[in-house]
């Protein structure tokens, strides 16, 4: 009998089974232990050290860093962050490689699609993109169809099993995007489309477009959107220079994008968003930022180094709201975001949380 992906109308994500599943659950367990046990314990040691030395808590990553690094537990903490991540990717590569026909199925056109897939094999990929392996994923998210599936499967484990239904992407749309009549929405760096799909549900009359540099990501995004009955155009373009006409969109959004690109690129992306928006249009990004809690901010900046996200420290030093103003936007603001259920935190106060978690923020600005 032919494998399911040979006959199904859409490419299907391989499902880890048996020993592979057990192995991946083990790596998830290691990651959860790291986030829920090792992180609070490290913080306890850090606070203990400060109390003994009668020093106030530093408010910057730069000041907190040397103190954290002086703790013997820190090197084990770092090891426990990096190695389960590597174990996870290797096993997912095996799962996808051994899943007959899965990668090839992404190249087959979807019959009678609702949306569109536009690939540009001549698109030049920036060096920052091809020379590093983001999140330590071998081959990045762009070098083959397999990588898109590996990334999709890995994203669930990276989010510690707490975003399997893509809750925080929905919360972003439901709590941080004002309810307006958007005619055209652009999701920059849409990956495999999990950040794009909620816009179709929330704004069914809008034309929704997702762009990304990665052809494999876009193919998977297209297959998944079609499978779920969502009309989206996925197009291979660089968010720094999209090629769309001035004033083509009323909402330009990006999720988990600007921490992955160098600072000159962040500036160009914001300028490009300004150019693409009609007057009265909205920029809305969901990403990470410093919180003013030195320990937490250092752990995030250092997470960038440990997890091959080299531009994270730059983002933590950058005034993103200021960049929006410089590009011409008004009413630029940055608000904390709670990915567990509240979404946008309108009073601007970060919740105190003992476990490791990302310092989410929403950046919004009006054209
Ligand atoms: C962490 S992923 C986020 C994907 C998606 N927004 C989500 O929330 O799942 C970052 C994405 O940025 C894309 N990317 C990086 N640089 C880009 C650029 N200059 N233009 C378009 N996409 C880019 C990568 O291919 C990757 O899919």
Q: How do residues 139-191 score in pLDDT, each as one tens digit?
A: 888 889 999 999 999 988 878 877 777 899 999 999 999 999 999 999 999 99
SS3 343: strand
Q: Which atom of ligand 1 is nearest to the CA of 254?
A: 6
What is the rounded average pLDDT of the residues 308-313? 90
pLDDT in tens, 316-361: 999 999 999 999 999 999 999 999 888 999 888 888 899 999 999 9
Query: Considering the chain, what percentage of its residues have pLDDT values greater than 90?
Result: 82
The per-residue pLDDT for 3 is: 37
User: What is the whole-number distance in angstroms between the Cα of residue 287 and the centre of ligand 1?
Assistant: 12
For residue 155, give the H/E element and its range: helix 145-158
Q: What band does 366 get if pLDDT is binned at 50, 70 and 90?
A: very high
Residue 6 has pLDDT above 60, yes or no: no
Contact 106, 220 (CB under 8 A): yes
User: What is the whole-number distance in angstroms between the Cα of residue 277 and the centre of ligand 1?
Assistant: 20
309 close to ligand 1 (CB < 6 Angstrom): no
What is the rounded average pLDDT of the residues 269-284? 98
User: What is the whole-number distance in angstroms between the Cα of residue 252 and the centre of ligand 1?
Assistant: 14
Please state, rounded to an integer, the average pLDDT across all residues of the chain.
93
- Residue nearest to ligand 1 atom 10, measured at CA: 257
Instruction: Look at the block and give the residue holding tokens 């490791």.
Output: 356
DSSP class per residue in 184-249: EEEEET-TTTTTTHHHHHH-TTSEEEEEES-HHHHHHHHHHHHHTT---EEEE-BTTB--PPTT-E
Cα torsion 306, 308, 310, 311 to 10°: value is -100
- Rounded to whole angstroms, the Cα distance separating 335 from 143 reads 35
The per-residue pLDDT for 275 is: 98
The per-residue pLDDT for 143 is: 83
User: What is the whole-number distance in angstroms between the Cα of residue 325 and the centre of ligand 1?
Assistant: 23
260 close to ligand 1 (CB < 6 Angstrom): yes
- Rounded to whole angstroms, the Cα distance separating 142 from 110 reads 21
137 close to ligand 1 (CB < 6 Angstrom): no
- Rounded to whole angstroms, the Cα distance separating 167 from 70 reads 37
User: What is the whole-number distance in angstroms between the Cα of residue 190 and the centre of ligand 1?
Assistant: 6
User: What is the whole-number distance in angstroms between the Cα of residue 30 and the centre of ligand 1?
Assistant: 27
Best residue among 213, 270, 307 to mutate for probing ligand 1's pocket (most ligand atoms within 8 Å of CB) is 213
Instruction: Look at the block and give the residue holding tokens 């992955």.
Output: 260
Count, in order, helices (H) and strands (E) of the chain.
Answer: 15, 9
Give this prediction's pTM. Answer: 0.95
Best residue among 191, 222, 266 to mutate for probing ligand 1's pocket (most ligand atoms within 8 Å of CB) is 191
Best residue among 257, 262, 312 to mutate for probing ligand 1's pocket (most ligand atoms within 8 Å of CB) is 257
The per-residue pLDDT for 161 is: 76
């Amino acid at each position: 009998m032919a494998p399911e992906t040979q006959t199904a109308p859409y490419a299907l994500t391989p499902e880890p089974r048996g020993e592979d599943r057990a192995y991946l659950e083990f790596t998830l367990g290691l990651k959860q232990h790291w986030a829920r046990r090792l992180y609070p314990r490290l913080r306890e040691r850090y606070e203990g050290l400060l109390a003994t030395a009668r020093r106030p808590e530093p408010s910057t990553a730069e000041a907190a860093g040397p103190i954290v690094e002086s703790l013997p537990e820190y090197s084990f903490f770092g090891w426990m962050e990096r190695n389960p991540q590597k174990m996870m990717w290797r096993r997912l590569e095996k799962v996808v490689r051994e899943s007959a026909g899965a990668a090839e199925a992404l190249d087959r056109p979807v019959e009678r699609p609702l949306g569109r897939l536009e690939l540009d094999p001549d698109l030049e990929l920036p060096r920052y993109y091809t020379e590093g392996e983001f999140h330590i994923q071998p081959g990045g998210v762009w070098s083959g169809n397999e990588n898109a599936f590996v990334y999709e499967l890995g994203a669930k484990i990276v989010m510690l099993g707490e975003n399997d239904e893509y809750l925080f992407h929905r919360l972003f749309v439901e709590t941080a995007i004002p309810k307006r009549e958007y005619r055209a929405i652009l999701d920059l760096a849409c990956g495999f489309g999990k950040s794009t799909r909620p816009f179709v549900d929330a704004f069914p009359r809008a034309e929704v477009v997702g762009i990304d540099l990665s052809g494999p990501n876009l193919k998977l995004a297209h297959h998944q959107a079609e499978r779920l009955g969502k009309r989206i155009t996925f197009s291979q373009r660089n968010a720094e220079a999209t090629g769309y006409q001035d004033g083509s969109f009323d909402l330009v959004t990006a999720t988990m994008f600007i921490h992955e690109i160098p600072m000159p690129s962040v500036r160009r992306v914001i300028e490009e968003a300004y150019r693409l928006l009609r007057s009265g249009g909205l920029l809305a990004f969901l990403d990470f930022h410093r919180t003013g809690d030195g320990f937490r901010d250092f752990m995030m900046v250092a997470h960038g180094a440990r997890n091959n996200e080299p531009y994270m420290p730059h983002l933590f030093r950058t005034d993103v709201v200021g960049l929006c103003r410089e590009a011409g936007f008004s009413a630029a603001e940055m608000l904390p975001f709670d990915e567990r259920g509240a979404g946008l935190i309108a009073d601007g106060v970060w919740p105190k949380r003992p476990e490791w978690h990302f310092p989410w923020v929403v950046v919004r600005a009006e054209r």
